[in-house]
A and B are shown apart, each in its own frame.
Chain A
Amino acid sequence: MIKSYMAIAALLLTPLAQAEQPVEQRAPADPQGEVEVSSVSGLVSIDGWDRNEVQVTGTLGDDVERLDFVSDPKRNHTLIKVVMKTSSNRSHRDDGDAELSIRVPAASRLNANTVSADLSVSSVRGEQRLQTVSGEISSEIAAEDVEAKTVSGNVVLRGDNKPAVVTVTTVSGDAQVVRAAGEIVANSVSGSLNLGVDQITRARARTTSGDLELKGTLARDARVDVETISGEVNLDFKGTVNAEFEIESFSGGIDNCFGQKAQPTNKSGPGSELNFKQGEGSARVRVQSLSGEIRLCGK
């Protein structure tokens, strides 16, 4: 993916002796440049700071071949990559981990991926793309887009109610989003989605069997689309609600604390539907399920 650079400052470690090795590298970096991090197992911790510099400290286990630290000032790009030994050279002990602590300029754009290493990010204000296979992802939402993707890791994203676009994709991992605002897109197969979003402008959430909870307030022209096959859906809208609701389930129940009752659909099935307008009806909320129960509330 990364092609050749015009000016590369490549700091490569020599092959390691059979012991955990400490690591410390640093290089100047553009305050709004891109930092790319790639690791396998262990821990990756990334924190934003106010220096125009990227710094890596930590330890590398036996099964790590080397740490690549490549800085390309022309493209405002820094790469930090853990390279593992080939299988035949590995000790196969349980100390193949790399534990990295990385400091990056706070406004950096971050692109981080690991296999099983947990990924923890804080104080980074630029756009984030975070991906793991089974590692946990934990980060903060500033004002830029955050995308978190995992297969079986859990995801926790914490915002401070500033509008941003948040995208979360899991297979079996659970995802929790707290104090986001604006737009959210969340998908899971069996993991549960627990989403707290203020002033929702657009929310789209889907699960196959995972439970889904969306809590927050609706912006005036919000569009909310929620779909599940068999998961349980809980929508909880606070404040003044001005929305048109279209709720339909093929065989699950619909419970509505706004007052209106679901009606059986006039199709050949056990389904029920609920269509009503609350307040001025400027927003639109649509929920569909096959067999999952749907609960709708607003306080």
Chain B
Amino acid sequence: MTAEAAAIDSDEQWIERARLGDRAAFEGLYRAHSGRVYGLCLRLTRDVTVAEDCTQETFISAWRNLARFEGRSTLGTWLHRIAVNVALARARRGGLEVVPAPEEDEREEATRAVIDDDTPPIDVENAIASLPGGARHVLILYGIYGYTHEEASDMLGIAVGTCKAQLHRARRLLRERLSA
């Protein structure tokens, strides 16, 4: 059995038991999926404390709605859907786009001409965090987490065409910011 298939098997067993109120089983699901949920929350919200809240809210909401999980997608995708809703609802209600601090000028000496396989991950993360909201969300879902345009647009509540346009924009802005 491949690692992927084994993971799905244990998810299914845990879900069955969690649905019956088995909290230890739900904790197992949490342990298995927390990293990917937190990773998504952190990149969407760009704040550690808010991402922690978002992660907690996601799993609490998942517990309350386990009966609605029908297995049409994987549990991880379902959790991501919830996480996207939680993170974006917060950002929308807050009415604030919190802009990260501009990059320090010390990096001027270490500019690079092209983005390549040696571009440090932290540079890529910082550049993604500096993108405007719509473009950033699409790039995170499509580029990091591998969702299709149809899946990403559904999660974000936008049209597929908008999703593709936002991705195009994200790639262009990222190319500019990493080449500066």
**Which residues of A come within 8 Å of B, CB atoms?**
1-4, 6, 74-75, 127, 145, 147, 163, 165, 167, 169, 182-183, 185, 187, 199, 201-202, 204, 206, 219, 221, 223
Contacts and interface: CB of A to CB of B under 8 A. Distances in A.
B134 A145 contact: yes
Contacts of B133: 165
Contacts of A1: 102
Interface string B141-158: 000000000000010011
A35 to B, nearest CB: 16
Contact of A127 (B93, B132, B158): B132
B105 A4 contact: yes
Given A6-B108, A165-B134, A147 B97 contact: yes
Contacts, number: 43
A202 B157 contact: yes
Given A3-B105, A145-B132, A145-B134, A75 B161 contact: no
A201 B180 contact: no
Contact of B159 (A6, A74, A145, A219): A219
Interface residues of B, number: 19
Contacts of A201: 157-159, 162
B64 interface: no
B92 interface: yes
Interface in B92-118: 92-93, 95, 97, 102, 104-105, 108
Contacts of A202: 157-158
B159 A223 contact: no
Contact of B102 (A3, A145, A169): A3
A187 B95 contact: yes
Nearest to A168: B95
A163 B162 contact: yes
17 contacts: A1-B102, A2-B102, A3-B104, A163-B159, A163-B162, A163-B165, A167-B97, A169-B95, A182-B159, A185-B92, A201-B158, A201-B162, A202-B157, A204-B92, A219-B159, A221-B154, A221-B157
Nearest to A75: B180
B162 A182 contact: yes
A147 B104 CA distance: 26
A108 to B, nearest CB: 14
Which of the listed residues B102, B108, B159, B165 has the most CB atoms from chain A within 10 Å of its own CB? B159
Contacts of A3: 102, 104-105
A201 B166 CA distance: 14
B108 A183 contact: no
Contacts of A185: 92, 95
A280 B70 CA distance: 22
Contacts of A204: 92
Given A3-B105, A147-B97, A206-B93, 13 more contacts: A1-B102, A3-B102, A3-B104, A4-B105, A6-B108, A163-B161, A163-B165, A182-B162, A183-B134, A183-B158, A201-B158, A201-B159, A202-B158
A221 B161 CA distance: 13
A2 B99 CA distance: 13
Nearest to A284: B157
A183 B97 CA distance: 16
A183 B162 contact: yes
Interface string B65-107: 0000000000000000000000000001101010000101100
Contacts of B93: 206
Nearest to A206: B93
A163 B160 CA distance: 12
A74 B104 CA distance: 15
